Structure 1
Amino acid sequence: LPGEDAIMIPKTDDGRVLFAVPWHNKVVVGTTDTPLDEHSLEPMAKEEEIEFILKTAQKYLAKKPTRADVRSVFAGLRPLAAPKEGDTKTKEISRSHKLIVSESGLITITGGKWTTFRKMGEDTIDKAEEVAGMERRKSTSESLKVHGFEESTDYNDPLYFYGSDRDAIMEMAKENSSLKEKLHPDHEHIAAEVIWAARNEMARTVEDFLARRIRILFLDARVAMDMAETVAELMAGELGYDEEWISHQIKEFTTLANRYVLQEYTPKALETINSN
């Protein structure tokens, strides 16, 4: 997509809404809504969902996306607070959260979504104060500045999402020139980010870093697999792990990341491990 504007398709063939949102120089296209009876820690998109998204996006994007354009496919499970009456189709159920207080005073929150997490927390604490008979205090979370806050952001800086931590990461790279090395020739992430994540962000596995710190698994799963060896070696050096740990991490992450691609991929690092 040119620029930073997203596209919303308000009504698709089956009545669902489809989005195309620019994200870290890629475009995230979705979503689908499929009821499931079975649950998994790593849910996978169904083939019909992939085809639905591609087919619908082709109608609206100038460059019609094909399977070859897909860099990563990911899915998640969403808890929905079912209504007591009315339509029970998942696409019609409100994404709002509900608070339930049991006879014992246990507070349960259900439903909701990532984008309303702060309000969910505020409402839960307010309810806890009410149930416990505590003094009510007004929440300050709406204006609370989180770690890394800066008054302005330079989105052209590859490390902009670290906020105020960026300077500390660059200082590490300045003190040790090897930490300036890129993790992949086509991306701006550098070795210092791995060390920073292990020291300051509790990253303990390759997946921690590639999926939950720099998000590259969700942006380009093949690139993430190519990065795995370097990331594992850097983390092992920082955390005191051996070669066996490095090999295990590469194998484990490659297995996981292959769930995010449409065609199985074997990085060179894994080919070397398997040949030994």
Structure 2
Amino acid sequence: MTEQFDAKPAAESSRLAAAAAQAAVEAGALTPAERRRNWTRLGSESFDVVVIGGGVTGAGAALDAATRGMRVALVEARDLAAGTSSRSSKLFHGGLRYLEQLEFGLVREALRERELMLTKIAPHLVKPVPFLYPLSHRLWERPYTAAGLLLYDTMGGARSVPGQKHLTRAGALRLFPALKRTALVGGIRYFDSQADDARHTMTVARTAAHYGAVVRTSTRVVDFLRESDRVSGVRVRDVETGEETDVTAQVVINATGVWTDELQQLSGSRGRFRVKASKGVHIVVPRDRIVAEAGLILRTEKSVLFVIPWRNHWIIGTTDTEWELDLAHPAATKSDIDYILTHVNKVLATPLVHEDIEGVYAGLRPLLTGESEDTSKLSREHAVARVAPGLVAIAGGKYTTYRVMAADAIDAAAVDLPGRIAPSITDKVPLLGADGYHALVNQADQLAAKHGLHPYRVRHLLDRYGSLIHQVLAQATGRPELLRPIPAAPDYLQVEVVYAAGHEGALHLEDVLTRRTRISIEYPHRGVDCAEPVARLMGEILGWDEERRAEEVRIYIARVNAERDSQDQSDDQAADARRSTAPEARPDLQENDSKE
């Protein structure tokens, strides 16, 4: 096939290359060339909406606005999902525990969104997952919990997944053999769903780009533009080059999560709500350390603890403690890790130890302040406010309800937009890769044979890229070595690195190792052992010379070492001090943390 292509006349080859480039743009590809074009567009076009923040809410707002027919720009100082949206529990869940807090509306809304993701919007990314709720009290606990789960199922919890199933102690232990017999008297199995949060957020942003949004990372807001008392846009800096430009817009949306207050101060407008950061820590252990066929949900004195199946691993978490230090790099402490191990080991027949841990990550929840100083009791509801003419802020909420939050933000922006705006339609818009996914799953064996891959490998790719798998595998045309696993990270293929740099907007080594893949938390070496080959593959696409490749590797290894060091500290202040010693991959952000 390659020889035939090379034999075509130069003009025909040029035409095909141009057509391929255009097709990539139409598919929402965040290519290096598109990044350069988008910088020009930011400075030369006028937008209806500029969204600040590349987390799931910001990406969702950009998609919502674009599909309503608006001219949209999304800017993010770091990488897509670099903050909270890559560090969640990776669940699309109905919020079963919120029933006890009588948050019925929140549960109903979350279950509707979960159903949309599973069936229409992102079936390639969002998957059902069973959980065991162990019962530890006789007589009263089973009917009490069953009543809550019946309400949960009635609200939509059993619409496209099985409803609750009651189990004896023997039945619960067959589902979760790793539990101590004394840890339960019975159990109830129910279903929720999960997704790779970073990949999902990136796909939402790419889908927005597919519908015309200008999406640009490493683009930091340094000031707000004004006309009289009205916000009329933002001034942005390319943190890779230091260049600055003004971006004009009818309305600016602050969707920066835990950075909401800082952006509010930069705008000079008085905020309508405050955001408090709550730190949540998770650990990752190998799948064989816990013998079970389902996840586990446990009550703790503060909140709940999840044991979540994650491919060949378990994710266990989370903590819920106030955090007032570095918002960009929250640090997990030894105390956080010990808290998780202590609580999960109360019910495991074979306790987990520190040596079992493959990865650790810490994220910050943006909680609306006001109800209680206890972060575990702060509202998970979201709030939207028009804080000044031309400026809307949105904060709070849950990952699961990002689409509703995004629609609310664009609705709030309507007062600053001329004419009548169309209603939100994102409940009808599949994300890139969703269309054709189910048919490709049925064709996995044929697709595997065509490319010389094992069918399980193709299914893994389908669950990461959906129908975009053809784009991914096309990168290996004429280069069969790209279909080999990444050295020291065999769950991923080398072609995925090439695709991340060429189509998914990855600009730095950490973007690939921590977000486009999850190597940084899925392997004990945390990406260090494969940093060199991954940097070399990225460098081919991004034009890195040997010095730049070495620098990317150096920065990444320093980051891992700083994180490991912080996880040996007993308190937040000491952990933050150790984590902050690592250099930034985006140098412009080293001294002045991003407001995005």
**2:5 is equivalent to residue 5 of structure 1:** no
Residue among 516, 519, 530 paired with 1:227 = 530
| CA root-mean-square deviation | 2.3
The more displaced of 87-96 and 104-113 is: 104-113
Give the letter for the 2:405 counterpart.
Answer: M
Residue of structure 2 in register with 1:32 after alignment:
319
Residue 98 of structure 1 aligns to a residue whose secondary structure is: strand
In the alignment, the residues of structure 2 paired with residue 123 and residue 4 of structure 1 have an alpha-carbon distance, to the nearest angstrom, of 38
Higher relative contact order (CA 8 A, sep 6+): 2
CA distance in 2 between counterparts of 1:209 and 1:105 reads 35
1:141 and 1:240, CA in 2 relative to 1: closer, same or farther beyond 3 A?
same
Give the distance between the partners of 1:258 and 1:116, measured in 2 at CA: 35
Structure 1 residues 18 and 259: alpha-carbon distance in aligned structure 2, compared to 1, 3 A threshold: farther
Counterpart contact for 1:158–1:189, Cα < 8 Å: no
CA contact (8 A) 1:221 1:257 kept: no
1:51 paired to 2:338: yes
Answer yes or no: is the 8 Å Cα contact 2:357–2:524 preserved in 1: no
Aligned-partner residue type, residue 537 of structure 2 = L
Q: TM-score, normalized by length of structure 2?
A: 0.41
CA-CA distance at 1:221 after TM superposition: 5.2
SS of equivalent residue, structure 1 residue 120: helix
1:98 corresponds in structure 2 to 383
Residue in 1 aligned with 2:506?
203
Aligned to 2:471: 168
Residue in 2 aligned with 1:15?
A: 302
2:422 aligned with 1:137: yes
SS at match of 2:410: helix
Deviations 1:130-168 (A, max 9, x none): 565752533111221111114425794231211112223
> AA paired with 2:512?
F
Q: How many residues align?
A: 259
Q: Which has the higher strand share?
A: 2
1:70-81 matched pairs, under 5 angstroms: 70-81=357-368
| Aligned residue number for residue 251 of structure 1 | 554
Measure how far apart 1:255 and its partner are: 1.2
Please name the residue that 1:213 is paired with. 516
After superposition, give the CA deviation of every residue in 1:190-233 in whole Å (9 maximum; x if it has no partner): 21111111111121211111111012112225151111000111
Given the superposition, is the C-alpha separation of residues 176 and 151 from structure 1 closer, same or farther in structure 2, using an over 3 Å criterion? Answer: closer
Q: Does 1:193 align with 2:496?
A: yes
| Residue identity opposite 1:46 in structure 2 | T
Residue 258 of structure 1 deviates from its aligned partner by 2.7
Q: In structure 2, how many angstroms separate the alpha carbons of the residues matched to 1:172 and 1:103?
A: 47
CA offsets, 1:29-59, max 9 Å, x none? Answer: 1111111222331111122111100111112
Q: Distance in 2 between matches of 1:16 and 1:136?
A: 41
Deviations 1:224-259 (A, max 9, x none): 111100011111222221111111111111111234
Amino acid at match of 1:233: R
What is the CA-CA distance between 1:22 and the residue it aligns to?
Answer: 1.1
Q: Which moved more, 1:146-155 or 1:50-59?
A: 146-155
Q: State the shift of 1:3 in Å.
A: 6.0
Alignment gaps of 5+ in structure 2: 1-289, 445-454, 569-596
The one of 373, 388, 408 aligned to 1:123:
408
- 8 Å contact 1:74–1:260 — kept in the other structure? no
Q: Map residues 53-68 of structure 1 onto 2, 5 A cutoff.
A: 53-68=340-355
Considering only CA atoms, is the larger Rg found in Structure 1 or Structure 2? Answer: 2
Aligned to 1:158: 460
Deviations 1:110-132 (A, max 9, x none): 21232221111011111222565
2:398 to 113, 118, 132: 113
Secondary structure of residue in 1 paired with 2:525:
helix
SS at match of 1:235: helix
Q: 1:105 to 1:25 in 2, by over 3 A?
A: same
Aligned partner of residue 376 in structure 2, secondary structure: coil
Contact residue 198 and residue 235 of structure 1 kept, 8 A: yes
**What is aligned with 1:267?**
none
Deviates more, 1:69-78 or 1:125-134: 125-134
User: Which amino acid counterpart does residue 184 of structure 1 have in structure 2?
Assistant: P
> Aligned letter for 2:340?
I
CA distance in 2, matches of 1:4, 1:118: 31
Residues 260 and 25 of structure 1, relative CA distance in 2, 3 Å threshold: farther
Cα–Cα, structure 1 residues 134 and 25, in superposed 2: closer, same or farther, change >3 Å?
A: farther
* Separation (CA, whole Å) in 1 of partners of 2:310 and 2:562: 21
Residues in 1 aligned to 2:304 and 2:412: alpha-carbon distance in whole angstroms? 33
Consecutive unaligned residues of structure 1, counting only runs of 5 or more, are 264-276
Deviation at 1:73, TM superposition (A): 0.9
Q: 1:183 to 1:213 in 2, by over 3 A?
A: same
CA separation of 1:175/1:168 partners in 2, compared to 1, >3 Å: closer, same or farther?
Answer: farther
